[in-house]
Every structure is written in structure tokens, then in C-alpha cells.
Amino acid sequence: MKLRYIKCTCFILISLLPNIAYPHSLSWYGILRGDAIIDYKSPVNGIIDSLNCTLGVDQDNTEIFKITSIDGVYKKEILELKINKARDEYKKYKNDYMNAEQAFNEGLIAKNELDDISRKMRDAIINLKEIESEIETFNHINNLSKPYIKGRFVCQDVFVSKNSYVNSGDLIMRIEMIDRYRIEIKYDPVTTNLKNRNIRYRSLVNNSTGNAKLIATKNLKDNSNMGGLKSAIIELEHSGGLYPELLDTAFEITLYD
């Protein structure tokens, strides 16, 4: 019991050290987070061909997974046939129209015959554009099936295994971007002004310290039972003491004059 009391007393004294160093200071506590947490879902029905995401490991510039669509290969072949046919039709009606226009100018055909060929050419253009749109959609979905992440990230959860079957909309994995580290705190804007103030951070795990800056504030929802308080996003300057293992751990944020 006496040892517990000593440990508790030491923790309280350590927590108060920043305020001793900076007499005119205020402190808050928050959890270390990265830039953003992103959930990736399958855009197609298919098979997990590869998974390149190791839980808790700092990675960068990686194709995190690849899904082979069940009908993707056949759909690609069909679209190629359709676009080739549509291009040939457009070329044919374009040449027909140019010849018909010349014949009309020479008085060899009637106006309604020229208009009929013109309508067929316009229909061919519309058909070509529609197929081009289909191909763009197909390529977009294909890219979503093998996302490439630019920047640093940590894999938080993987919900599937290699060679498993997934349906469109199934959750594949969750990653957290860590190009920057951030902490969210709650404060009273009436009594505290965070703008243009010096801000420091301190890890309660490894005591790493550094400067920080305010990047955003927002009002808290009324149902939070914290009426009048605001939320502030604090971005930490990376001084070498920050690493992915510190995500989800407690940090102290100190504001001083």
C-alpha cells in the first residue's frame, strides 16, 4: 500500500513538472493520432490476390492489396470489342456524311437523305462516348481494386485473408496515415485562447518532447454534455521521438506564454 502511494505521488509530481517549468501554463491530455484513419472496402466481387499490410508496421508508398474481379477479365474483353466496333461505325458514318454532303451540294441527293446520314453519325458519336464512359468506370474500379498508398501509414486492422472471396462493399482493411501526428483536446474558448500561443507536447510513455501548433478548432456537439467547450486539433513537430508505437498512447499538451 505504501509503495502504491509513493508511485501515485511520483506520477502526480511528474505531471506537474511542465507547469513548474512554465509558471503561466495550462495543460491538457490527449491520445496520439495520425493524419487520418481510412477504411478500405472491396469495390467488386472477387478474390484477394495479395495483401501487403503488416499490422503495426510503419510502411510507405505501397500497393496495400489487390482484388481480382470474378468477371473483370471478361468485361474488359467485351468492352474492347464494343469500343472497336463503335469506332469503326463512327468512321463509316463520318465518311458517309462527308460524301453525302458533297453530293447534296452538287444536287445529287435530297436534304432529308443528308439529314438521315447526319442522324446516324450523331448516334454513332453518342454510342462511342457511352462506351468510353463505361471503360473509364471500369478502369476506375480496377484501380480501386489495387489501391496504392502514397506517404507513411500504419496498418491498424486486416479483415480478410489472402485467396479469400469478398463481396463488393466488404471491409478489407483499416490504415492510419502518419505523415503527421496530431492530438485532439477539448478546451473552454471563453477562458483560453489557443491562437498565437506557444504549445509544447510531452509523451507520457517515453517523455519525448517538442513544439506543436494549432491547426483547427471546431464546436462540440450539444449532446456531448460539454456545452461551451470546443475541440482543438494540435499538430506535433516530428523531432525524432515520435514513432508509430506511440499511437493510442497519452500525451500532455502544454500552452504557455
Nearest CA to 65 among 50, 43, 45? Answer: 50
Higher per-residue confidence, 33 vs 223: 33
Counted domains in the chain:
3
> Which residue range forms the structural domain that includes residue 112?
72-141
CATH code, domain with 241:
2.40.30.170
pLDDT score at 22: 45
| Mean pLDDT, rounded, of the chain | 87
Q: Are residues 51 and 160 in the same domain?
A: yes
Q: Are residues 200 and 80 in the same domain?
A: no
27 located within any domain: yes
Residue-wise pLDDT for 60-78, tens only, equals 999 999 999 988 889 999 9
Q: Are residues 159 and 48 in the same domain?
A: yes
Nearest CA to 239 among 204, 205, 191, 201? Answer: 201
Residue-wise pLDDT for 32-45, tens only, equals 999 999 999 999 99
CA gap 182, 76 in Å, rounded = 43
Prediction pTM value: 0.74
